[in-house]
Amino acid sequence: MSSVMHPDLDIAPEIAKALAERRAIVALESTIIAHGMSYPDNLRIAREIEAIIRKAGAIPATIAILNGRLKVGLTEAELQHLARSHEIAKASVRDLPVLVAAGGDGATTVASTMRIAAMAGLRIFATGGIGGVHRGAELSGDVSADLTELARSPVAVVSAGAKAILDLPRTLEMLETLSVPVIGYGCDEFPAFYSRSSGLRLTARADTPGQLARMLAARWRLDGGGVLIANPIPTPDEIPAALIETQIRGAVSRAAADGVAGKDVTPYLLARLRDLTAGASQRANVALVLNNARIAAQTAVALAAHGQQH
């Protein structure tokens, strides 16, 4: 059953069954496990995320590349391998054919998770924050493939906005250019990942999972492509914007001095920020991911109910 849909895809039995029964499923990325946190914290958090999704009535489907297979839903052993190994490459969309051909392992970013989720027929994906236009992109040209993938794959990404290490105004402009709907969940501003507000206004808002589901269904009836759902970090977990901004500037100038470029930039900045804030940035990151997982599961449940009405 697992490889019927696509020759490179392995859909775990639980996910295949949920798809056949049109039940709510939430896709999850694996870069956050393999590169965002160290063992055993990463494994513990991965399990907490899955538990929150199940509690809200949906099935979690973690996505990764293992032995050249595009995996949708992992076994316990596969999750352990991702969490423990130091040999898992960070894999965006352009890395997929290379890893598939070589039979390699890869942790999926937002972009590649979206692509594989879409191949499997999954529509809702929970993450922390998307990649986007980097600070200094006017010189470096560094813009994440997460943005171009949002324009392409019909998947809704529940996030706390784009990572605050990025140039948020330019990221929002690029999303507009790419015609990606950005929906504030219970907010009118683009959240700034570690803090709730950025001062950047959004043009769409939803206050319930049912409203989100109707917007998503309309997006997919009208054209296709992705949707960015921007769900602010809970107030008790916020880091004040002014405080984190100082640390981000420190991390960004250090990255430039160290000549960090390409796909190493995001992991470098996040690790540096974790050190500069004595772990506070990672605690906030975990809190917002858990919050996004819950909203994503509620949205997946609402979307499944919506689908059954038509």
**C-alpha to C-alpha distance for 117 and 153, rounded to whole angstroms:** 9
Asked whether 51 and 291 are in contact (CB, 8 A), the reply is no
Alpha helices in 104-226 (DSSP H): 110-120, 137-140, 145-152, 168-177, 209-222
- What is the 8-class DSSP label of residue 34? I
Of ligand PSU, Mn ion, none, which one does residue 35 interact with (CB within 5 to 8 Å by kind)?
ligand PSU
Element housing 72 (H / E): strand 69-72
In the bound complex, what is the minimum distance in angstroms from residue 155's beta carbon to ligand PSU?
Answer: 13
Of ligand PSU, Mn ion, none, which one does residue 90 interact with (CB within 5 to 8 Å by kind)?
ligand PSU
In the bound complex, what is the minimum distance in angstroms from residue 134's beta carbon to Mn ion?
Answer: 6
Scanning residues 65 to 124, which ones bind ligand PSU (CB under 6 A)?
90, 92, 109-110
**C-alpha to C-alpha distance for 286 and 274, rounded to whole angstroms:** 12
Q: Does 142 participate in binding Mn ion (rule CB under 5 A)?
A: yes
In the bound complex, what is the minimum distance in angstroms from residue 265's beta carbon to Mn ion?
Answer: 6
Nearer to ligand PSU, 213 or 289 (CB): 289
Scanning residues 3 to 62, which ones bind ligand PSU (CB under 6 A)?
29, 31-32, 35-36
Of ligand PSU, Mn ion, none, which one does residue 110 interact with (CB within 5 to 8 Å by kind)?
ligand PSU
Helix (H, G, I), strand (E, B) or coil at 201: strand
DSSP 207-245: -SHHHHHHHHHHHHHHT---EEEE-PPPGGG---HHHHH
Scanning residues 228 to 267, which ones bind ligand PSU (CB under 6 A)?
263, 266-267
In the bound complex, what is the minimum distance in angstroms from residue 55's beta carbon to ligand PSU?
Answer: 24
Scanning residues 264 to 303, which ones bind Mn ion (CB under 5 A)?
none
Nearer to Mn ion, 3 or 140 (CB): 140
Residue with tokens 């979307």: 303
Scanning residues 193 to 222, which ones bind ligand PSU (CB under 6 A)?
none
Which of 50, 78, 149, 163 is labelled catalytic? 163
**C-alpha to C-alpha distance for 273 and 281, rounded to whole angstroms:** 7
Distances (CA, A) of 252 to 167, 172, 268: 11, 20, 9
| Residue 29 designated active-site | yes
Among 106, 131, 154, 209, binds ligand PSU (CB under 6 A): 131
Q: Which residue type, as a one-letter code, is found at position 209? A: P
Rg, Å, the chain Cα set: 18
Nearer to ligand PSU, 194 or 302 (CB): 194
In the bound complex, what is the minimum distance in angstroms from residue 53's beta carbon to ligand PSU?
Answer: 18
Nearer to ligand PSU, 36 or 225 (CB): 36
Q: Does 95 participate in binding Mn ion (rule CB under 5 A)?
A: no
CA neighbours closer than 13 Å in the CB half-sphere of residue 78: 20
**C-alpha to C-alpha distance for 284 and 281, rounded to whole angstroms:** 5
Please give the residue ranges that form the binding site for ligand PSU (CB under 6 A): 29, 31-32, 35-36, 90, 92, 109-110, 131, 144-146, 263, 266-267, 270
